[in-house]
Amino acid sequence: MNTSDAGDRAQGTPQPPGGVRVLGRALSAVITRAPALWPLLRGPTRRFFERAAPDWDRRDRNQSDYLAALAAGLLHVVPAPERALDVGTGTGAAALLVAREFPRARVRGLDISEEMIRRATARVGLDPEGRVAFKLGDASALPWGEESFDLLTQLNMPPFFGELARVLRPGGHVLIAASYGNATPFYTPDAVLERGFKRHGLEPVASGEAGAGTYFVARLPA
Ligand X SMILES: C[S@@+](CC[C@H](N)C(=O)[O-])C[C@H]1O[C@@H](n2cnc3c(N)ncnc32)[C@H](O)[C@@H]1O
Binding site for ligand X (CB under 6 A): 45, 49, 61, 88-90, 93-94, 110-113, 116, 138-140, 155-157, 186
Shorter beta-carbon distance to ligand X: residue 144 or 203: 144
**Spatial separation of the C-alpha atoms in residues 60 and 63, rounded to whole Å:** 6
Closest-CA residue to 175 (of 73, 32, 79): 73
Closest distance of CB 53 from ligand X, Å: 7
Closest-CA residue to 60 (of 15, 114, 122): 15
Closest distance of CB 128 from ligand X, Å: 26
Shorter beta-carbon distance to ligand X: residue 34 or 222: 34
Shorter beta-carbon distance to ligand X: residue 107 or 170: 107
Residue nearest to ligand X (CB): 90
Shorter beta-carbon distance to ligand X: residue 111 or 209: 111
Closest distance of CB 135 from ligand X, Å: 10
**Spatial separation of the C-alpha atoms in residues 155 and 136, rounded to whole Å:** 17
If you compute the radius of gyration of the chain from its CA atoms, what whole number of angstroms results? 16
- The one-letter amino acid code at 119 reads R
Closest distance of CB 20 from ligand X, Å: 9
Shorter beta-carbon distance to ligand X: residue 138 or 150: 138
- The one-letter amino acid code at 195 reads R
Backbone torsions φ then ψ of 193, nearest 5 degrees: -65, -45
Closest distance of CB 171 from ligand X, Å: 25
- The one-letter amino acid code at 194 reads E
What are the counts of helices (DSSP H) followed by strands (DSSP E) for the chain? Answer: 8, 7
